[in-house]
Amino acid sequence: EAQVTQNPRYLITVTGKKLTVTCSQNMNHEYMSWYRQDPGLGLRQIYYSMNVEVTDKGDVPEGYKVSRKEKRNFPLILESPSPNQTSLYFCASSPRLAGAPGETQYFGPGTRLLVL
């Protein structure tokens, strides 16, 4: 089954404790991205990657890191989480850049993060 998976689905942590949220897709997509969703603010893109070893900042990259060593995986790293990073996080993938003709993004189920 074609899908985007994220782990963990739920995470409670404390300020400053490094964490990684994994994202994996089995559709051989080149493009992957991370979003956060907050009440009243909607979905905002954190980082995106156009292919292996190619990443770029989205609208809200501060406090986050990403890496793209393999095509299928795109982990999101919070080196020193803070309470303002409490949010619902989504990973997404698409065959090519969002905006390219005919492209659509496929979203993972989300990771709900609480930073105390």
Q: Catalog residues that contact another protein under the rule CB under 8 A.
A: 4, 40-45, 48, 58-59, 90, 92, 97-110
CB of 36 to another protein, least distance (A): 11
Please, are residues 35 and 110 in contact by the beta-carbon 8 Å criterion? no
CB of 13 to another protein, least distance (A): 20
Choose between 12 and 98: whose C-beta lies nearer to another protein.
Answer: 98
CB of 15 to another protein, least distance (A): 26
- Gap between the Cα atoms of 36 and 90, Å rounded: 6
Position 100: which residue type? A
Side-chain half-sphere of 41: how many Cα atoms within 13 Å? 11
